[in-house]
Amino acid sequence: MKKLLHPIAITFYVLALITSLPLILPNKSIKKYSDNELREVALSRDMSAVPKSYEELLKVVDNPQNPLSREKIALGKELFFDTRLSRDKTISCASCHNLKEGGDDNLPTAIGFHGRANPFHLNSPTVLNSALAKAQFWNGRAKDVEEQAGGPVQAPFEMNMTPKEVEQRLNSDTKLVDRFKKIFHKEHITFENVRKAIGAYERTLLTRGAYDRFLDGDNNAISASAKRGMTLFIEKGCKGCHTGMSVGGQSIQKFPLRRYFSDYIGIIFEPNIRIKESPFPFENRGGFLGKDDNLRFRVPILRNITKTAPYFHNGSVDKLEEAVRIMSKYQIGQEFSKEQIADMVEFLKTLEGELVKY
């Protein structure tokens, strides 16, 4: 009893109660929309469908510093699958970004040259729809897909090459040199133009699915459960961060946004108070703390999220339902019920899509 009444213990109990109030108090009722109203609300809040045609694609993803052309895109596609960009010629961009499996590798941490794992235990974000994002990598350190394309090639634990080595290797291929010359108007292949070609191809890797068909006007494209999940997504504020055509990737946000003393109390009785070591609501594998080590991460793209498990930067969560629960509690401050989680997952399933053949 004395341990229970210890002043420090009492303080923790009181603070835990206060910070848990959002989870205890009843949630406000969610608005109900007709199909047309739900669509109008979504479209008015920057939720939009992926374009169907090449001409519409250019309006969305073309880069003035790297103008798209069909020839450049075709060249970039070949390089995306070219193992010559890795030191031992066994790894390509596609090795970690499987276009048939959600655009990632479905591993907790990326595995590269000679089986080396990412030292921060970071997994591979999807390349699908990544051209729609305003920043690349988990800490947003690259501004676009062209800049991002050069990172894994040079990382010693990924493809383990230098720009000079890439240039020397590719310039020995006279047919490839001729193709680069026609597109970039330079006598030799440069690493910068390799990045630009790959980036051009990645700008076409957009997917469309049931979500897009609903936004285009097909009320039967998604289920009633998915519509409830979409309403929840909008009304609870999920779309505040997971916004834009890509449904994410538009900003750098703090995670976790909320903390609960109940997570940090640990064992307060024997022998001393133990504070939870991980700053996350899961194991801190790799010790990566985001941009500037300040728990700030690029908001993940939710399109095809059902195909990109495991979740979060270090792949510590296997199930999408658990990822939704964690986000509702630690970002929104209102832990979803089982029914709400089920509806949200049904909505997220509508974000699955097939590559548009531009």
Catalytic residues: 158
d(CA 113, CA 278): 29
Distances (CA, A) of 44 to 37, 38, 41, 48: 10, 10, 5, 9
Token output for 324: 């939704």
Cα gap 211→301, rounded to integer Å: 14
**Residue whose entry in the numeric block shows the structure tokens 């066994």:** 90
Decide: helix, strand or coil at residue 197: helix
Q: Is 68 left (phi over 0), alpha (psi -120 to 50) or beta?
A: beta
- Provide the sign of the torsion angle of the four alpha carbons 301, 305, 307, 313, taken in this order: positive
Take residue 123 and report the two structure tokens written for it.
């997994």
| Residue 69: strand, helix, or coil | coil
User: Tokens 């109660």 map to which residue?
Assistant: 17
- Give residues with Cβ within 8 angstroms of 40, minimum separation 6: none
- Number of other residues whose CB lies within 10 A of the CB of residue 107: 15
Query: What's the gap between Cα 319 and its chain centre?
Result: 16
Q: How far apart are CA 141 and CA 127, in angstroms?
A: 16
Say which residues have a Cβ less than 8 Å from residue 291's Cβ, sequence separation at least 6. Answer: 139, 140, 141, 252, 297
Whole-angstrom distance, CA of residue 146 vs CA of residue 73: 12
- What letter would DSSP give residue 188? S
Q: How far is CA 39 from the centre of its chain?
A: 24
